[in-house]
Structure 1
Amino acid sequence: MSGTTMVFLIVLVSVGFGVISDLYGKYLQAKKQSGINKQESDQLKTELAHLKDRVAVLERIVTDEGYQVDKKIKSL
């Protein structure tokens, strides 16, 4: 094996390990970010469920007979 070939292989292996290291670092970062997104997603789902419950309660209040009568009385 000639010296030029050996230098080429050393550079190729070094660059290869650098690329693999960089990709692995990005993989770990994406995995960490995914965990954060899951936690945030769970919080948003919980908040959405609470808001849906509140809207349902408001719909019951507005469609209630007593509320409609009170509204008519106030408009007179």
Structure 2
Amino acid sequence: MSNGVMVIVIVSVIFGVLYEMYKKHLEFKSKTLKYNQENDEQNNELKHQVEQLTKRVQTLEKIVTDEGYQVQKDINNL
């Protein structure tokens, strides 16, 4: 009888520990998923900003390389 009770106690402790480990794993997985979603949102926002800045630089390059801009600059230098 003593051995049977001891086996039940050991099995109960092992399953209790395994259950706690599983809960911790689920918590970690949840935090990781939330962190990844936040990073995805940040990445999308940064991509949008880079696209806008690229368009602005292209516009500025067109203005600076325009012949009319160069003529106006030469006139201002005189």
Give TM-score scaled by structure 1 length: 0.84
Q: Aligned residues, how many?
A: 76
Q: Map residues 1-76 of structure 1 onto 2, 5 A cutoff.
A: 2=3, 3-76=5-78
Q: Distance in 2 between matches of 1:9 and 1:71?
A: 87
User: Which sits farther off after the overlay, 15-24 or 40-49?
Assistant: 40-49
Task: Report the residue type matching 1:55 in the other structure.
Answer: V
Could you tell me which runs of 5 or more consecutive residues in structure 2 were left unpaired when the two chains were aligned. Answer: none
TM-score (norm 2): 0.83
RMSD: 1.6
What amino acid sits opposite 1:36 in the alignment? E
Sequence identity (%): 33
